Amino acid sequence: MRLPAVSGEWIDRSRSVEFRFEGRTYKGYEGDTVTTALWGADVRVLGRSFKYHRPRGVLSLANHDTNAIHQWGDMPNLRADVTPLVAGMDLTAVNTFGSLENDKGRILGKLSRFLPVGFYYKAFHNKRLFPMWERMFRVMTGLGRVDVSAPRKRTPKAYDFCDVLVIGGGAAGLSAALAAAAQGADVVVVDENARIGGAAGYQLGNDATRRRTHAELLACVAAEPRIRVVTATYAAGYYKDHWIPLVSADRMVKMRAGSVVVASGAFEQPAVFHNNDLPGVMLASAAQRLIYRYGVKPMQRAVVLAANADGYRAALDLLANDVAVAAVVDLRPTVGSAEPLARLLAQAGVEVLTGSCIVEGVADAAGLCAGARIASLGADGKPVGAEREIACDGILMSTGWAPAANLLYQAGTRMRFDTAVEQFVPDVLPDGVFACGRVNGVFGLERKLADGARAGSHAAAAAGFGSATGDALPPEAECPSHPWPIVDHPAGKNFVDFDEDLQYKDFCNAVQEGFDNIELLKRFSTNGMGPSQGKHSNMNGLRILARLTGKAPQQVGTTTARPFFHPVPMSILAGRGFSPERRTPLHSRHEALSARWMPAGVWQRPEFYQRAGESRLDCIRGEAAAVRGGVGIIDVGTLGKLEVIGPQAAEFLERVYTASYANLKVGMTRYAVMCDEAGVVIDDGVVARLAEDHFYFTTTTSGAATIYRELSRLNTMWRLDCGIVNHTGAFAAVNLAGPKSRLVLAKLTGLDLSAAAFPYLAVREAEVAGIPARLMRVGFVGEWGYEIHVPANSGGALWDALMAAGSAHGIRPFGVEAQRLLRLEKGHIIIGQDTDGLTTPLEVGLDWALKMNKPFFVGQRSLAAVGRLPRRQKLVGIRFPADHVGPVPLECNLVIAGGEIAGRVTSIAFSLAVGCHIGLAFVKPELAETGTRLDIRLTGGSLVQATVAAAPFYDPENLKQKEAA
C-alpha cells in the first residue's frame, strides 16, 4: 500500500510504470525499485531462500536482499531491492522449481534434518558418490540463467582523478566532503544509492530538526562547486595508492584519489529468533526507507524489537505514517537514552517492554508474518516465564549494527573490537585513508557531522590542501548494538545467514565438529559465502563463535574482506576489452594471399595459406615441399630484434648468452642460447656481429619484450659501456629458403652470393631491391636460405620484389605450421614447445652451445652443479613406422614405461621428406638410446609404439648448406 506523498521521496507519482512479475502485471512509479513497487502493490513474497526455498520478503532494502533476486530476460540475478523499476520489465524469481508461488523446492524445508551443516563437505567425502552429488548440486544450486547468446553490452571503463574521494554520501560523508572542499580540495562523493543523504534522510524519529539538518546538508553540498557527487555507484574495492573502482550500472570508473575518506556507514543487523525470516519481518531501517524514499507502507501493524534508540525512532516513524505499533520489545533492561522517545510512544499508547525478547515470529497459513511471540529475558540471555503472542503483520528489528568496513580492511587498516559500541573500529589507518561516522564507531547525528568534518579536513591536508583540524571524538555514551541479539529455539529456523539458510544450531554443530576457527567455520558452514558475503551474518556468526569457544570477539577475529564489495557483472569487469595485437608490416600481403591466421603471443601470424580446393594439411605439406624442392618465403618479422652497441658490447653478450661472442668475427653469426639463473633455457636466437662494437641479434617471438627488459635490467646493473636498442617492430624480416633461394635473391642484389663470399652463418649489409638490408645465411628450416631484415616501412616492397623475382621459380609463401615441420625434420627445437620451465640445455642436446670455461654467463654456476648430477630426462627424436595406420600421439601425450610416466611428446608431424611421422620427446635417460621402442599413450588411453631415432631426420650432414648441394 502506498502512503500519501512525503517530502523528499524518491518516486515520481506522476509517472506510472507498468511491469510484470511472475506472470502478473503490476504498476509502480518512476524512481521505485522492483521491491518497492511490489511491496507497494502488497506483494509480500519476493523470492525463495537458497536452501530450504522458504518464502522471503524485504530484509534490508539496501542491496543485500539476496533472497529477492530476479531474472529479467538475459539479465540474471538482479537484486530487486535496489534495481530501478523499468517499464516493460518481465521478471521472474530465480531459484524456484515451477514458480515462486508453487515452488516444488519447498520440500527441502521439510528435509532440513537431512541437510546438516557441512553438508557439502560430508557429501563429497565419499569418492564413490562424488559424481552423483556433483550432478545433483549442479542442478539444485546456482542462481539465475546466463544467456550466452545475449549481445555484448558496451561498458567502457574510464579512469578518473580527484584530491579527496569520500565513500558514502550520508551525514558523515557529506560533512567530510564539505570540510575537504573548504580547504580547496577537489572532492568526489560516491554513494551506491540513487540519491545522497544516507540514513539522515530516513532515520527521522518523526523529528523536524533531523529533517531540517538533512535538507541543509544537501543544500550545502549542492552549492559547493568543488564537490562532484556520483550516485547509484559503489566503491567496489580498495587497491594500493588509493585506487578505487567505482561501479555503476553501466561502467567501472577507476578512481585515483589523493586521499580517501571511508564514510561507508554500517549494516543494520538482524536479530536471531525462530521464523525471523517470515515475509514482513525486516530491519527497522528497511521500513524507514520504504516510508521516506518510496512512500510505501511497510505493514499495517508492527512489533518493534529494539536494543537502541534507533528502534524507538523507527517506531515513531511508523506511527507518523499510519502504521500501528503494537509494542516495542527492548532486549535491554532499561530504555537508556531513548527515554524521551519512549515517553512519546507511551503517550501514543504503544506498549514498551524492556528486558524482553521475541521468541518467535508467528506465521499465517500463507507463511507470512502474523504475530510475534514474546517473553522476558533471563539473566543468562534466554527467554523465561510465560510467552505472549502479539498479532502483527510485520516485525522491525533494530538491535545493532556492523560496520561496512570492507574497504578499510582491504586498505590494510588494523581494526579493533570496541566493546563501547560492540563493533570493530579502525585502530590504525593507512596513510591517506580516513574513516568517519558509523564505520568509525560514531553514531549520533551531530557526532557524525563533527566526525565527518574532522576526517574531511585531515584528508584534504593529506592531499596537500590546508591544515588538518579536529580530533577524534570521545566514545559513544550508549552502545548502539546489543552483544547477543540471539534467541535459541528448539524448532530451529532462527536464521543467522539468510543467503545460505544457516540456523543458530548449525554453528553449534560446526563448532562441536571441530570447526572452531572463524575461517574454518566460514567454509564448513558457508556462513558469509552467499551473494551478500556475510554483510548480515558475519557479525552474528562471530558472536556465536566467540560465545561457543569462550573467546572475546577480538580474539575470534574476522574473515578476509576481498574485493569486490558487491558482485560485479562480468560485462562491467570486461569493459571495452582491450586486447593488444601486433601485426607485422607484411600483414596486408598475407591477407591478399588468403593466410589463415593464428595467434603467436600478441602477434597474428599466418598458420598457412589457403589454396582453393586444398585441405589445411595439404596446404601445409605443399608449402613444406616448396621449400624443400624450390623456394619458399616466410615472414619472420615477429622475431625479437635487438642491438647492442658500444666498446663492451661483446662482453655483455658473453655474460647473457651461453656461447662465446668475443671471438665472433665481424660479418658472422652464431646461434645463441640464453638461460636464467637456474640454468633453465629461456630463449634462443642468432647473434650477428656487424662491427667490432655492434651486434644485431634475434630472440624468440614470444620472448622479445621480456628479454629486452631483462637485458636492460642486467645492463643497468653491470654498468658496461654499451647500450641496448629494441628494434623488434622497426624491422621487417623474411626468411627466403630453399635450393632456389639464391637464384631469386641474385636478381635483386649486387651482393656476391657465392658460398665463399657469403658463407653459411655469415651476415652482410647490402641493398636488396634498392632497400638497405641486413642478410643472414641461416638454416633453421634446413635449406640454403637468407634471413633478410629491412626497415619496417620497406617490408612490403621487399616482399613484393622477392615474390616477383621468385615467380619464375615457383616461389611459395609458407606459414608457421610448415616452418614447424621443416625445422622438426632438421631436429631444431622451439623454446617453450620442446622445452619447459625446468629444461636445461643439457637435456635438449645443447651441450655444445655451453662454454663453461668462460668467466661467467647467467646460469653458468647452476649448470655446473646440474652437470654433475644424472640427467632426469633427455630430448630425443622419435619416428613411427612408415606403414603406421591409425592415430598418432598429440603433443604432450605421455610416454609410458612399466606403467609409469616416462616422458612426453613435445613435437610431432608427418614428414613427406622422411616418409613417416616424426617427432621429439622427452624420455628418461635409460630410454634415450637410438632404436629403443617407446609406448606412448594417446588421449583416449590406448598405446602406440614409436622408436627412438637419431635427429636430424633430414640432411644430417648439413650438406644443403654447402656449395656442392
Residue closer to another protein by CB (options 257, 680) is: 257
Q: How far apart are CA 862 and CA 857, in angstroms?
A: 10
Which residues in the 619-638 window bind another protein by CB under 8 A? 637
Given 42, 74, 389, 581, the residue binding another protein (CB under 8 A): 581
Interface stretch with another protein, choices 208-216, 341-349, 537-545, 728-736 (CB under 8 A): 728-736
> What are the start-end ranges of the E strands in 602-750?
603-609, 632-635, 640-645, 669-675, 681-691, 694-699, 723-726, 731-737
Given 83, 96, 203, 794, the residue binding another protein (CB under 8 A): 794
Nearest distance, CB of residue 580 and another protein, angstroms: 4
C-alpha dihedral sign at 123, 124, 126, 128: positive
Q: How far apart are CA 576 and CA 525, in angstroms?
A: 38
Residue closer to another protein by CB (options 30, 643) is: 643
Q: How far apart are CA 759 and CA 963, in angstroms?
A: 9
- Residues 749-778, one symbol each (x = binds another protein by CB under 8 A, - = not), give -----------------------x------
Residue closer to another protein by CB (options 87, 725) is: 725
Interface stretch with another protein, choices 85-93, 203-211, 371-379, 791-799 (CB under 8 A): 791-799
Instruction: Transcribe 562-615 into DSSP letters.
Output: PSPSS---HHHHHTT-----B--TTHHHHHHTTEEEEEETTEEEEEEE--TT--
Residue closer to another protein by CB (options 265, 703) is: 703
Distance set, CA 343 to CA 17, 328, 337, 354, 899 (Å): 42, 12, 11, 13, 85
Given 261, 303, 792, 902, the residue binding another protein (CB under 8 A): 792
**730 touches another protein (CB under 8 A):** yes
Nearest distance, CB of residue 846 and another protein, angstroms: 30
Q: Which of 159, 157, 187, 184 is nearest to 173 (CA)?
A: 187
Given 14, 578, 869, 931, the residue binding another protein (CB under 8 A): 578
**583 touches another protein (CB under 8 A):** yes
Cell 654456476 identifies what position? 861
Which residues in the 238-257 window bind another protein by CB under 8 A? 254, 256
CB within 8 A of 760, min separation 6: which ones? 777, 779, 961, 962
Given 23, 98, 464, 723, the residue binding another protein (CB under 8 A): 723
Instruction: Transcribe 836-903 into DSSP letters.
Output: -TT--GGGTT-GGG--TTSS--TTHHHHHHHHTSPPS-EEEEEE--TT--S--PPTTPEEEETTEEEE
Residue closer to another protein by CB (options 94, 190) is: 190
Q: Count the site residues for another protein by CB under 8 A.
A: 40
Q: How far apart are CA 792 and CA 637, in angstroms?
A: 9
Q: At what angle do helices 208-223 and 171-182 cross, to 10 degrees?
A: 40
**729 touches another protein (CB under 8 A):** yes
Distance set, CA 826 to CA 740, 820, 829, 950, 957 (Å): 19, 10, 9, 11, 10
Given 580, 886, 898, 931, the residue binding another protein (CB under 8 A): 580
Coil, helix or strand at residue 503: strand
> What are the start-end ranges of the E strands in 248-321?
252-262, 266-268, 281-283, 301-306
- Is residue 408 within 8 A of residue 429, CB to CB? The reply is yes
Residues in the chain: 965
- Is residue 866 within 8 A of residue 840, CB to CB? The reply is yes
**645 touches another protein (CB under 8 A):** yes
Interface stretch with another protein, choices 200-208, 399-407, 445-453, 721-729 (CB under 8 A): 721-729
**416 touches another protein (CB under 8 A):** no
Q: How far apart are CA 518 and CA 531, in angstroms?
A: 19
Interface stretch with another protein, choices 513-521, 555-563, 566-574, 789-797 (CB under 8 A): 789-797
Coil, helix or strand at residue 230: strand
Residue closer to another protein by CB (options 242, 904) is: 242
**288 touches another protein (CB under 8 A):** no
C-alpha dihedral sign at 253, 256, 258, 262: positive
Residue closer to another protein by CB (options 729, 739) is: 729
Q: What is the 3-state secondary structure (H, E, C) of 328-343?
A: EEECCCCCHHHHHHHH
Residue closer to another protein by CB (options 155, 532) is: 155
**584 touches another protein (CB under 8 A):** yes
- Is residue 653 within 8 A of residue 639, CB to CB? The reply is no
Nearest distance, CB of residue 463 and another protein, angstroms: 12
**158 touches another protein (CB under 8 A):** yes
Given 301, 727, 871, 937, the residue binding another protein (CB under 8 A): 727
**475 touches another protein (CB under 8 A):** no
- Residues 804-843, one symbol each (x = binds another protein by CB under 8 A, - = not), give ----------------------------------------
Interface stretch with another protein, choices 510-518, 707-715, 729-737, 753-761 (CB under 8 A): 729-737
**643 touches another protein (CB under 8 A):** yes
What is the 8-class DSSP label of residue 114?
G
Nearest distance, CB of residue 149 and another protein, angstroms: 23
Residue closer to another protein by CB (options 728, 961) is: 728
Residue closer to another protein by CB (options 399, 604) is: 604
Q: How far apart are CA 795 and CA 808, in angstroms?
A: 21
Amino acid code (one letter) for 830: I
Q: How far apart are CA 681 and CA 669, in angstroms?
A: 20
Nearest distance, CB of residue 698 and another protein, angstroms: 15
Nearest distance, CB of residue 188 and another protein, angstroms: 13
Nearest distance, CB of residue 697 and another protein, angstroms: 14
Amino acid code (one letter) for 877: G
Which residues in the 676-705 window bind another protein by CB under 8 A? none
**728 touches another protein (CB under 8 A):** yes
Amino acid code (one letter) for 289: R
Nearest distance, CB of residue 770 and another protein, angstroms: 12
Residue closer to another protein by CB (options 258, 530) is: 258
Nearest distance, CB of residue 581 and another protein, angstroms: 5
CB within 8 A of 2, min separation 6: which ones? 40, 295, 296, 297
Indicate left, alpha or beta for 217 from its phi (over 0: left) and psi (-120 to 50: alpha).
alpha
**153 touches another protein (CB under 8 A):** no
Identify any residues that bridge with 677 across adjacent strands, giving them in sequence order.
none
Nearest distance, CB of residue 648 and another protein, angstroms: 12
**228 touches another protein (CB under 8 A):** no
Which residues in the 603-622 window bind another protein by CB under 8 A? 603
Residue closer to another protein by CB (options 663, 793) is: 793
Coil, helix or strand at residue 818: helix
Nearest distance, CB of residue 430 and another protein, angstroms: 21
Q: How far apart are CA 437 and CA 233, in angstroms?
A: 20
Residue closer to another protein by CB (options 454, 641) is: 641
Identify any residues that bridge with 30 across adjacent strands, giving them in sequence order.
12
Nearest distance, CB of residue 603 and another protein, angstroms: 8
Residue closer to another protein by CB (options 90, 643) is: 643
**576 touches another protein (CB under 8 A):** yes
- Is residue 534 within 8 A of residue 541, CB to CB? The reply is yes
| Binding stretches for another protein (CB under 8 A) | 154, 156-161, 254, 256, 576, 578-585, 587-588, 603, 637, 643, 645-646, 721, 723-725, 727-731, 772, 791-794, 796
